[in-house]
Chains A and B, each alone.
Chain A
Amino acid sequence: MATDAYVFDAIRTPRGKGKKDGSLNEVKPVDLVANLMKALEERNPGLKTSEIDDIVLGIVSPVADQGAVLPKTAAMKAGWDTKVAGVQINRFCASGLETVNMAAQKVASGWEDLVVCGGVESMSRVPMGSDGGAWAMDPKTNLETDFIPQGIGADLIATIEGFSREDVDTYAANSQKKAAAARANGYFNKSIVPVKDMNGLTILAEDEFIREGTTAEGLSGLNPSFQMMGEMGFNAIALQKYHMVEKINHVHTPGNSSGIVDGASLLLIGSKSKGEELGLKPRARILSTAVTSTDATIMLTGPGPASDKALAKAGLTYDDIDLFEVNEAFASVVMRFMKDTGVPEEKINVNGGSIAMGHPLGATGGIIVGTVIDELERRGLKRGLCTLCVGGGMGIATVVELV
């Protein structure tokens, strides 16, 4: 790499329940971001926004409240320097982490020196699928690509790997337990910036989606989410490809899948020299990034191959990584990752994940980079790897190392 890319700061909003009765439903996504922008300035007194080359934010449904290049709009709202450019990108659930990777690549290339990245998703205001798209909505494309929703893929993974309903519920309950403990112990305080109104009154200060006291037994009563749509036709499509599978075991429910929430994340990434110039303290270095893709039908098996690729690029092995953040899109995704890579559960999502705290699509990638850096610092460890499964079968990974 020509230039090393450093993370100077990583912040996020708390995650609000992504429905009408969620605390952040009243907050426009542009404000979720603008408020974080202001906080970034406050936390980093040396930061001159005129020195920021670009703002790259992940937004999975960039329409309506989230349309029209929200990053630039938010920068204007936050009063950032006119010179700062902005762009919104979408790589489904990987959008947030993709912006981290892009920021790192921009810096590493030497063509830009300071980049803000992260993402936002107000799923209560702009529901999943609001952006349409040919894959699902155009019959010809849908037929040619054998479109099926992710949940069917998650259930297919569980079926093939033999993960029972009890297995995935146990995993989910554990995520809740870890998240609740982390919140209680204040492990997220370093990066959470409370969302406040125009009068300075707090709207939401902590993640509100976590359900403390969740047990596997309690989760076992929930109805499977994808059984009905599966039986209407999607299962048949999946089994036309996975022809050795007798029938799909629908194990995923709202209780063991990622939660629908509102939230945003921002990271400040730049070169060492730009950091020194502005008096910014580097916290971590991005060692490598990777994207890849696997079969689009099963769709959610990308994290293993993407992590393999990122580690190879960094010249590291799984043993060199102290902590992993594997996005909990569905319980079976993380369980399959463990099976693929041999990484023990003790190293993965140690403070819980999206099952407990929710997955604000465009923001999550940025959030988990902050989470892993915070935890590496707290535990005095060195390296972390973040990875997500992605629509279309894609996978993404990023390796970070504390400075």
Chain B
Amino acid sequence: MSEAIRYEKDSDNIVLLTMDMPGQSANTMNATYVEAMGATVERLEKEENLAGVVLTSAKSTFFAGGDLNDLVKVQQEDAEELSKGGEILKGQLRRLEQIKAPVVAAVNGAALGGGYEICLATNYRIAINNPKTKIGLPEVTLGLLPGGGGVVRLTRLLGLEKALPFLLEGKQVNPEKAVKAGLIDALADDQEDMIAKARQWCKDNTSAQQPWDTRGYKVPGGVPSHPALAQKLPIIPAMLKSKTKGCYPAPEAILSAAVEGLQVDFDTAIRIEGRYFVSLVTGQVAKNMITAFFFQLQDISKGKSRPEGVEKSKCEKVGILGAGMMGAGIAYSSAMSGISVVLKDVSAENAEKGKAYSESLLKKRVSRGQMTQDKADTVLARITPTANAEDLSGCDLVIEAVFEKRELKAQVTKEAEAHMLETGVMASNTSSLPISGLAEASVRPSNFIGLHFFSPVDKMPLVEIICGKETSKEALAKSIDYCLQIKKTPIVVNDARGFFTTRVIGTYVNEGIGMLEEGLHPRSIETAAELAGFPVSTLAISDELNFTTMRNIRLAAEADLATEGQELPESSSTSVLNKMIDDFDRSGKLAGKGFYDYPEKGKKVLWPGLKDAFGGDKEIPFEDMKERFMFVQSLETIRCMDEGVIESIADANIGSIMGIGFPPWTGGVVQYINGYGLRKFVARAQELAAKYGDRFLPPASLVEKAENEETY
């Protein structure tokens, strides 16, 4: 008998199964599991006078789900093997739920994905009432579907409409909410209570049977042919696709498997689910999403870009200079993670305003039941608003978030360094000014670094860390530690104009504005970006960025380069922006008029004058429009890598998705190239260059990689 699932029969003939996979911190659905579960089920089937089965885990979590290391490697030609493997796994669970004795899942900790699918293959689910325990089927977030019977069982258990949010959005809930939703049947206080309750349930329900194996069982809400459901069915795919834009195969496959599965018997439904699962695993989008959102994100949260040999640090007291939108957000995120915050502005009044931002966010959390008032008070009390630089004393980190003016930044840096800890890190939250230049104002340039937060800070997970010429590895390590401490995702880049994110998103914005200048239809430009999967279309984002700001940044960059005797390359967006600002007096959302009009009521609409101003009746292949937005950013990223602006592929991928809205289905700006296929990508880039300009010419490093059949 395998030690992966311990088997203990008590005097009541109830078997306690304890999953405890050797050499792993969590139970996962790998070969060891399959072997152990197979043997376990066989033994249970042979057991005489079996009175019940209680399945639990010896780990801190119940079960972690499928093994993504295995799944990410699967290729098209492995489809048959994968589907056979799936049948074995699902066959075992089917036999488990049909054992001639009650089977109870005793959920001691997180049961996600495959873990929760195992729970579904039992007759009753009891969970310890720990509010931090997560339960759900998050497969969709990695481009997959619950392929262990999760789609089939959950739709039969809850009915299609109640099951879909869990399946399509991968919603995770704590045990209390899981009981409300019907995912879990009962709560227990602790391990002992849970096992006792599980045993008792077995004794009280000797003829337990799965609902779907019970004669006359009616799926809640009915099957698809039921008129009430049938009437809603035609629009459900449209509702889904209006959100996914057709970029995500997983939710489409889940919806299909769910509806098709309800039209046939249980075992047929399981086969249908399996076919959809295999199609997703062998497809590119799941690979992209697993690579970025599981492996690369995990690397980043483990601090992969953190310099070795520097002791782990913990930020105790952070000073934030400038209590505007950004400063107030950084203060909130820091206070939420237990850090004392000194929020300084030129006046106490301004600083108080910045603190009020946290107060309003905390109020919301309390009103939604996400936090107690006590806890909220404690968090708020950590923030000290002030106009006095002396209050910065003792800060081991100071982040300036004042206006993007060099002189001002130099002044506040000097002021802060006079009071903060000498060993502390001085950071600038600039989005565009070169860090090495700002560091010139610092008395300790090796402690000076860029921490580029994104707005709104409380929602945006990314921080772009910029190392200046003299930034020490200690300063970098401390900055990474701080970002992880406040639960942000740090990427590390080197100092160059626009760093990484600002530079790359600039190409996206320019491309869209350039299309306008080419005379393409403005609505088509926006729709192309949306259908490529960008959360914010290109002209809309330009409105947010503000034309005057964009022009000023460009003028500043031109002036900077001029002092070095260089010229900024021509940009197609310049003349459009000049025309918009100077001829039409439209400068963006702030002014209430940019590429869009912003009516007081209702949604923004493209300014009807765009067609007269720029044409709008020229057409190019729609696919070209979509791909230009992707290619221009991917190619700029490769140039950034060539120039050493960014070194980590994980950082580039995650940074592009979390910071600047590169479509998540691609797995990020570099993974997009992998997914496209390097040779194909190079050929297509050359084609786009011939049609639309040299900015699409693939850099030599990329061409070489393609020729060597390598990937990023």
Contact in complex: A237, B242 (CB < 8 Å) = yes
How far apart are the CA atoms of A240 and B529 in the complex, in Å? Answer: 11
B381 within 8 A of A: no
How far apart are the CA atoms of A138 and B252 in the complex, in Å? Answer: 11
Query: Which residues of B from 244 to 275 have beta carbons under 8 Å from A?
Result: 245-246, 252, 255-256, 259-260
Known: A236-B242, A243-B528, A247-B605. A137 touches B230 (CB 8 A): yes
Chain B, residue nearest A238 (CB): B238
Query: Which residues of A from 72 to 96 have beta carbons under 8 Å from B?
Result: none
B414 within 8 A of A: no
B242 to chain A: which residues have CB within 8 Å? 233, 235-237
Contact in complex: A143, B622 (CB < 8 Å) = no
Name the residue in A136, A143, A147, A148 with the highest tally of chain B Cβ atoms < 10 Å from its Cβ: A143
Name the residue in A139, A232, A239, A240 with the highest tally of chain B Cβ atoms < 10 Å from its Cβ: A139
A278 to chain B: which residues have CB within 8 Å? none
Contact with B along A238-250 (1 / 0, CB 8 A): 0110011111000
Chain B, residue nearest A245 (CB): B523
Residue from the list B230, B234, B523 in contact with A246, Cβ < 8 A: B523
A318 to chain B: which residues have CB within 8 Å? none
Residue from the list A138, A229, A243, A244 in contact with B235, Cβ < 8 A: A229
A342 within 8 A of B: no
Q: How many residues of B contact A (CB 8 A)?
A: 29
Known: A237-B241, A237-B242. A139 touches B524 (CB 8 A): no
Residue from the list A236, A240, A244 in contact with B521, Cβ < 8 A: A244
Name the residue in B236, B237, B255, B523 with the highest tally of chain A Cβ atoms < 10 Å from its Cβ: B237
B699 within 8 A of A: no
Q: Report A157 CB to chain B, min CB distance, Å.
A: 17
Contact in complex: B234, A142 (CB < 8 Å) = yes
Chain A, residue nearest B255 (CB): A139
B239 within 8 A of A: yes
Contact in complex: B224, A140 (CB < 8 Å) = no
Q: Report B280 CB to chain A, min CB distance, Å.
A: 13
Contact in complex: B234, A137 (CB < 8 Å) = yes
Contact with B along A117-153 (1 / 0, CB 8 A): 0000000000000001000111110110011110000
Known: A138-B259, A243-B524, A244-B521. A237 touches B238 (CB 8 A): yes
Residue from the list B233, B241, B245, B256 in contact with A136, Cβ < 8 A: B233
How far apart are the CA atoms of A146 and B234 in the complex, in Å? Answer: 10
A232 to chain B: which residues have CB within 8 Å? 235, 238-239
Q: How many residues of A contact B (CB 8 A)?
A: 26
A233 to chain B: which residues have CB within 8 Å? 235, 238-242
Contact in complex: A132, B259 (CB < 8 Å) = no
Contact in complex: A140, B524 (CB < 8 Å) = no
Known: A143-B241, A233-B239. A240 touches B252 (CB 8 A): no
How far apart are the CA atoms of A239 and B260 in the complex, in Å? Answer: 28
Contact in complex: B523, A147 (CB < 8 Å) = no
Residue from the list A132, A235, A243, A245 in contact with B225, Cβ < 8 A: A132
Residue from the list A146, A234, A237, A240 in contact with B527, Cβ < 8 A: A240
Contact with A along B586-607 (1 / 0, CB 8 A): 0000000000000000000110
Contact in complex: A239, B234 (CB < 8 Å) = no
Contact with B along A247-284 (1 / 0, CB 8 A): 10000000000000000000000000000000000000
A142 to chain B: which residues have CB within 8 Å? 234, 237-238
Q: Report B274 CB to chain A, min CB distance, Å.
A: 15
How far apart are the CA atoms of A243 and B605 in the complex, in Å? Answer: 14
B72 within 8 A of A: no
B234 to chain A: which residues have CB within 8 Å? 136-137, 142, 147, 149
A143 to chain B: which residues have CB within 8 Å? 237, 240-241, 246, 252, 255-256
How far apart are the CA atoms of A243 and B537 in the complex, in Å? Answer: 13
A236 to chain B: which residues have CB within 8 Å? 238, 241-242
A246 to chain B: which residues have CB within 8 Å? 523, 605-606
Q: Report B462 CB to chain A, min CB distance, Å.
A: 28
Contact with A along B209-243 (1 / 0, CB 8 A): 00000000000000011000010011111111110
Q: Report B435 CB to chain A, min CB distance, Å.
A: 41
Chain A, residue nearest B234 (CB): A136
Q: Report A297 CB to chain B, min CB distance, Å.
A: 12
Residue from the list B225, B237, B255, B531 in contact with A240, Cβ < 8 A: B531
Chain B, residue nearest A135 (CB): B234
How far apart are the CA atoms of A233 and B252 in the complex, in Å? Answer: 15
A138 to chain B: which residues have CB within 8 Å? 256, 259-260
A245 to chain B: which residues have CB within 8 Å? 523
Contact in complex: B238, A244 (CB < 8 Å) = no
Contact in complex: A139, B239 (CB < 8 Å) = no
Contact in complex: B237, A139 (CB < 8 Å) = yes
Contact in complex: B238, A243 (CB < 8 Å) = no
How far apart are the CA atoms of A137 and B233 in the complex, in Å? Answer: 6
How far apart are the CA atoms of A131 and B252 in the complex, in Å? Answer: 24
How far apart are the CA atoms of A139 and B160 in the complex, in Å? Answer: 13
Chain B, residue nearest A239 (CB): B527
How far apart are the CA atoms of A143 and B239 in the complex, in Å? Answer: 10
How far apart are the CA atoms of A147 and B256 in the complex, in Å? Answer: 14
Contact in complex: A147, B237 (CB < 8 Å) = yes
Contact in complex: A234, B256 (CB < 8 Å) = no
How far apart are the CA atoms of A239 and B622 in the complex, in Å? Answer: 13
Give 5 A-B pairs besides A139-B260, A143-B246, A232-B235 with Cβ atoms closer than 8 angstroms: A142-B234, A149-B234, A240-B531, A243-B531, A246-B605
Q: Provide a sorted-by-A list of 23 A–B residue pairs whose CB atoms are within 8 angstroms.
A: A132-B225, A139-B236, A139-B237, A139-B260, A140-B260, A143-B240, A146-B241, A147-B237, A147-B238, A149-B234, A233-B235, A233-B238, A233-B239, A233-B241, A234-B238, A235-B242, A237-B241, A237-B242, A239-B527, A240-B245, A243-B531, A244-B524, A246-B523
5 tightest A-B contacts by CB? A236-B242, A233-B238, A243-B527, A233-B239, A136-B234
